[in-house]
Amino acid sequence: MDFDVNKAIQYFQNVVTEHYTDFQGRVARSDFWTYVAIYLGIAILAAVIQSVVGLALMALVQLALLLPTAGITARRLQDTGQNGSLVWMLMVPLLISSLVTFLTAMTFRAVVLLLPLLSIMWLITLISLGAAVYLIYLCLQPGTPGTNQYGPEPAMAV
CB atoms within 10 A of CB 2: 4
- The vertex-4 CA angle with 79 and 19, nearest 5°, equals 40
Q: Is 5 exposed, middle or buried (0-12, 13-18, 19+ CB in 10 A)?
A: exposed
pLDDT at 110: 65
pLDDT at 55: 78
pLDDT at 108: 66
Please give the share of the chain, as a percent, with pLDDT higher than 70.
94
**For residues 26 and 117, what is the distance between their CA atoms, to the nearest angstrom?**
36
**For residues 153 and 92, what is the distance between their CA atoms, to the nearest angstrom?**
28
**Mean residue pLDDT across the chain:** 89
**For residues 41 and 43, what is the distance between their CA atoms, to the nearest angstrom?**
5
Please give the share of the chain, as a percent, with pLDDT higher than 90.
61
For the entire predicted model, the pTM comes to 0.88
pLDDT at 132: 93
Out of 15-19, 25-29, 32-36, which region has the weakest mean confidence (pLDDT)? Answer: 15-19
pLDDT at 121: 82
pLDDT tens-digit readout, 85-107: 999 999 999 888 888 878 777 77
